[in-house]
Structure 1
Amino acid sequence: MITSLHVDDQHRLVEAILRIDGMRARRAREVLLAALERDLGHRLPFEHHDQDRLDVWALVDVLLNYPGAAQALVRNLERFYKNSLSVAALRDLVRELIPEPWLGQEARRELHQLMTSLERFDTGLTHLGRFPVLYRRAVGPAWPLLDREMRDLHDVVALLEEIPAGPDGVPPLLVFADDLARSAAPPAAPAIRDWVRRQAVVHGVDDALYQRQNAEVEARARPEPSETYLIIACTPDALEPDRYLVTAWLQVDREPGSTLQCSDEALPLSRIPELLERLLTAETSVLDRPTPDLTVEFVLPRRLLDHPVEDSKIKIAGFEHRIGIKYPVVVRSLDRMRLAAVHHDWRHKWSVLRGSPADAPVCLVTRRGEYDQEELFSKLSEAPAVLALAFPPWAAADEPDEHWVGLLSGTPVIAWCRDGRDPARFAREVKDLLAADLMRLPRRTMDLRRQALSAGAEEAGTDHLGLHLTLVFDDADRIPEPYVRLRPPA
C-alpha cells in the first residue's frame, strides 16, 4: 500500500463513504467508480464484494494505492451531490488523513493517458521487460525492489509518485518517465518527453533534470555494457537445511539489479533447474535483455560450492542441454557476501585483477596440506588474486580448508577440480586456462566445457577437466544489494 493508514483511520473512511446516499448501493458505486476512472485517465484494479461494507473497504484500499484517487472521488461526489454535508465530511476526512500529491490532477491524468497510449502502441509489450530496470535507476538502491505483482505501467507510476526526490531534487517519477521516453517508440516517446519537460519547469527542477540528462548522454557515449548477469542466490532455510530460499536478479553491467524471483517457499536443490529454465526461456526481462551476452552466477552457501551447477539442464523446444555449454556459469560465495570483515581485502584483490588481468598473480596448490592454513592465508594475503586447487573442498563444511582460507583471504577467483586431479596434469591444464586475460575466464571456462562434450574430446571422455571444473568468479564491484552495508546518503 502506498499511503498507509492505521486500520482505525481506514474504518473512519469506510464509515464516511457509507454515510453518503449515493455510495450505499453497489450499482451507484459502480457508476461513480466509472466516472472516477475517466477522471484519473486509467482503470482501477477494484474487485467487488457482495457485502457493502467489504466492498467499500476494498474501494478504500484502491484509493490509498493511487495518488490523487481519493481527492478525485471527493470532487466527483461534490459534482453529483452539491451542498451535501456527508460529502463535505468525507472531504474533510480525506484532507486530514491523505496528503495532497505533488502532481496536479490534469498532469496526472495526462501521464496515465500517455501510459495507456504506450501500452496500446507497444503491442509486443517490450516496455514490460524494461520498466523494472528503469524503476531501479530512478529510485536508487535505498528503496524497495519493484513488486513483481504489479500489473502495468499505471501501477509503477502510482508507486513512483509517492517516492520523494533524491539529492538532486528531481522526483523519481520524472526520471522514470524521461528514461521511458528514451526507450519508447513513436508516437508515445515525444509526448512523454514533452510531459516531462513541462512538469520539470512547473516544479522548478528543469536545470537539475537537464544536468542529469547531460550526464546520461555522456554515459551512453561510452561503450555499451558488455554483459548481462542472471544471479541465482540460494540461502539455506532455517528449518530445513536441505532446502533453499531462492532469489534471482537480472543485472545489466553494474546497474542496480531487478528482482525476478523472491519466493518464501524453500525449494529442494532438485527444483533449481526448473526455475532456471523458466527464467532463461520465458522471463521477459531476460529474453529482452539489452546485451546478447549473458553470464549465469550462482550465489551459494559453503556446502553447495562444489555442486556442479553448470550441469543443470534446461529444455528448449524439446531439446535439453546443460547451461554450462550455452552460458558462462560461475559460482559466488554467499558466506563472503555476508561477512563484511573481509570485503576490504576482497575489493582490493579484485581491483588488482581488473587492473592487470593478463598478469595477475596466481597461487597454485596441487596437494591438500601442501601449505599450513596460516601459511596459505599469509601467501594469499600478499598478492594473489587467483587460487587454483587440484582437489575439491572438504565434505565437512564447518571446518576450514584451503578453499575456505582462499575465500577469507579475499581471493576473488578460485578454480578447482571437483573430483581431484593428478597434480602434474592439473598444473598443466590450469596453466593453459589461466594463461590469458583473466577477466575472460568465465567465457574461456565455458569454451572448455564445450570442448569436453565435442567430438574432438572423445579421447578425454568423462575425464576432461571441463566436466569437473568449478569456477568461483566473485566480482567485488557487484555485490547484490541485500549484502551491501548501508551507507549514509551522499
Structure 2
Amino acid sequence: MAVREAIVNLLAKAGLATDRPSRSLMVDLIHDNLGFPLTLSEHATGRDQLIDVVNACARADGGMRALDHSVRMLRPGSPESELLHRLVHEPRMHDLLPDSELLWLRSVLSGFTPPRLSALVRRSASPAVCPAGEPGDAWEAFCSLTELNTPAHGLPPALAFVELIAAKCARPLGDELREWNTWQARRVQGEGRLRELRTARTPADGCGELRLHLVIMVEVDGIDPDRHVVSHWRQEDPQEWPPARGGMATIRGDELENHVGRLIVDAEREWSEYREEVALEFVLPRALVNLPVHRWCKEHETGDPRPLFLDYPIVIRSLERMFSRQWHRAWRRRWEALLGNPSAERVYYCRPQDTAERHRLDAILSDGRWLVMVLAAPPPERPRPGGDELATGLRTGIPVLLWHPDASAEVLRGAVAWLLDGGGLGDLPARTQDSRRAAFGEESPPADFQACRDLVILWDDPSRLIFLDDGPYLPNATREDADERGKAC
C-alpha cells in the first residue's frame, strides 16, 4: 500500500489529478500496453480516479509496468516519471515515507551517535551492499540506507537500522522508535521480517555466549611455494556475519607468524572498547593444516612475545570444505546434530585398520551418530585415495576433527576423554585453551596436559562461511606484496 500511495502522490504532482484529458490519455496508453482494458469506475475527484487507476494496475498482471510506460510517454524526462519508474521497479525507503514521518525521525536521530554505528549500518545492509564512508550520526546513516533496495524478505535496510538503534536507546525513546518502526514495517509489508529481527538475539556459534572472531586464511602462493597469501576477516559485531574482507598480503614462510601477530594486534586496537570474548580461526588448505598455529605468539617487536593461546581459543578450519559446496549439506546436518546433542559418546577414534581397506572408513562414518573424529595420525600433505582420514571426515560432514603431531593413540585418547569429561563437545576449544594455560602452572604436568598443549582442533561451523573471492573489502583494506613478483602473478 505504501508504494501505491507514493505513486498516486506522484501522479497528482505531475498534474494528472486536475488535467482530465491527460488522465484519460494515460488510461488509453495503459490499455494499449496491456492489450486489454482495465475495469475502472467513475469518481467525483481526479485524485480518487487516480487511486482507482493505480489499484487496478496493481491487480493486473503487468499493470504497474504499463502505468510506468504510459507516464514516461506523457511526461518524458520529468522528475515524476523518473521517480515513478524507480518506485515500480525498485522501491526505496525515502520514496515511501511521508515527510511528517521523516521529520519526526530526523528530530530523534540527528546528533545521536551510538557505539559501533558503522557496525550497525553493516548489519542492516549486509557487507555486500554496505554504503561507503563513515556516517556522522544515526540520521546520516539512516539516509544512506534509504538509498538501498528492499530485499526479498520485505524489510528495507533503513527500517532494520531503526530497529537496531531502538535497542541502543533507553525507555521511553526506544519504545517510541519500535512503535514507529512497527507502523512503517506494516506499510511496506515487512512485519514478518521485523518480528524475526526482534527475536534473533541468540549467539550465532552455539557456544552459549557471543564472541568476536578474527578469521585468518593462509594459502600457498601459486608461483613460489616458500611464500604464503594471507587474508583476514575481522568481526566488529558478534551478530554480524560475514564481516568484510580486510585485505591480502604475500608473506615469506619465515615471516608468517610475525605477520599474523601484527594482524591480531591491529584487531585488538580496533576492539579496544569491546567487552566480548575473542576467538581465532585459521582457514588452511590441506597442505598447511599442520602449521603449529597453536604455538604462535604476538607482539614480537616487544622482545617478549606473548603466546596466542593465553588470550584466545585457537582452531583451524578447512579451506577445501569452504570451496566444496557438494559437501555442505552433510556438514550442516552434522553441525546441527552437534548443537543439539554434544555428547562425548559421539566421538569416533580412528584406528590404523580403518584405512587398510578402501572406503572402510567412509562406511564407518556414514553412521550419523559420529560428530567428532580423532585421527590416528597427523594428516599428510597429500590425501591417500580411498583411505584418507582427513578427506573422509570432511566429505562425510564431520564438523570437528582432532589430531596430535606426535602423541600415541593411547595418550591422545586419554587427553580427549579428559577434555570432554563433564563438559561435552560444545565448549571444546575453550576447554583446550584452559588446559594449555593450566599446564604452565604444573611443575610436572600429566600426560593429558602435555598432549592438550599441541592438540590440533579443526572446528568447522558451516553457519559462518566467508567470502573467498575478491570482496567485499573493508574501505581501508590493502593488498601487500613483498616485491614485484606479486604483481606479475
Provide the TM-score with structure 1 as the length reference.
0.63
Distance verdict in 2 for CA 1:105–1:343, change over 3 Å? same
- Determine which of 400, 423, 440 is the counterpart of 2:409: 423
Q: Distance in 1 between matches of 2:393 and 2:290?
A: 14
Distance verdict in 2 for CA 1:224–1:272, change over 3 Å? closer
- Residue 350 of structure 1 aligns with an amino acid whose one-letter code is W
Cα offsets for 1:341-392 (capped at 9, x unmatched): 1112212222332232124422213549754351112211223211112421
- Determine which of 369, 373, 385 is the counterpart of 1:387: 373
Give 1:467 shift. Answer: 2.5
Residue 262 of structure 1 aligns to a residue in which SS?
Answer: strand
> 1:117 corresponds to which residue?
111
Distance verdict in 2 for CA 1:401–1:199, change over 3 Å? closer
Taking the TM superposition and a 5 Å limit, the aligned residue runs for 1:57-456 are 102=95, 114-119=108-113, 126-128=115-117, 131-132=118-119, 134-139=120-125, 144=128, 146=130, 149-150=133-134, 152-153=136-137, 156-167=141-152, 169-184=154-169, 190=173, 194=176, 201=183, 205-206=186-187, 208=189, 214-220=195-201, 226-234=209-217, 236=219, 237-239=221-223, 242-250=227-235, 255-259=239-243, 261-268=245-252, 269-270=256-257, 271-279=259-267, 281-284=268-271, 287-288=273-274, 292-315=276-299, 320-365=305-350, 367=352, 371-383=356-368, 384-396=370-382, 401-418=388-405, 420-436=406-422, 437-456=424-443
**Count of residues in correspondence between the two structures:** 372
Give 1:250 shift. Answer: 2.1
Distance verdict in 2 for CA 1:460–1:303, change over 3 Å? same
Contact 2:439 2:450 in 1 (8 A): yes
Q: Distance in 2 between matches of 1:404 and 1:172?
A: 41
Distance verdict in 2 for CA 1:204–1:233, change over 3 Å? closer
Cα offsets for 1:391-436 (capped at 9, x unmatched): 2121446977322222222111111002x22233223223323444
Give 1:170 shift. Answer: 3.1
Q: Distance in 1 between matches of 2:378 and 2:320?
A: 18
Distance verdict in 2 for CA 1:221–1:298, change over 3 Å? closer
> 1:56 corresponds to which residue?
none
Q: Distance in 1 between matches of 2:402 and 2:161?
A: 41
> Alignment RMSD, CA only?
4.1
Instruction: List runs of 5+ in structure 1 lacking aligned partners.
Output: 1-91, 484-490
Cα offsets for 1:71-104 (capped at 9, x unmatched): xxxxxxxxxxxxxxxxxxxxx7977888695156
Give 1:446 shift. Answer: 1.0
Q: Distance in 2 between matches of 1:259 and 1:204?
A: 26
Contact 1:362 1:386 in 2 (8 A): yes
Give the structure, 1 or 2, with the largest relative contact order (CA under 8 Å, sep 6 or more): 2
Give 1:147 shift. Answer: 6.3
Residue 298 of structure 1 aligns to a residue in which SS?
Answer: strand
Q: Distance in 1 between matches of 2:185 and 2:388?
A: 60
- Residue 306 of structure 1 aligns with an amino acid whose one-letter code is N
Residue 183 of structure 1 aligns to a residue in which SS?
Answer: coil
- Residue 429 of structure 1 aligns with an amino acid whose one-letter code is A
Contact 2:354 2:360 in 1 (8 A): no
Q: Distance in 2 between matches of 1:407 and 1:414?
A: 9
Q: Distance in 2 between matches of 1:95 and 1:246?
A: 47
Contact 1:390 1:421 in 2 (8 A): no
> 1:84 corresponds to which residue?
none
Cα offsets for 1:415-474 (capped at 9, x unmatched): 1002x222332232233234441112112111221133223445769x911221100111
- Residue 361 of structure 2 aligns with an amino acid whose one-letter code is L
Q: Distance in 2 between matches of 1:259 and 1:218?
A: 22
Give 1:158 shift. Answer: 4.0
Q: Distance in 2 between matches of 1:221 and 1:425?
A: 37
Give 1:144 shift. Answer: 0.9
Provide the TM-score with structure 2 as the length reference.
0.63
> 2:35 corresponds to which residue?
none
Instruction: List runs of 5+ in structure 2 lacking aligned partners.
Output: 1-76, 88-93, 470-489
Q: Distance in 1 between matches of 2:202 and 2:413?
A: 43
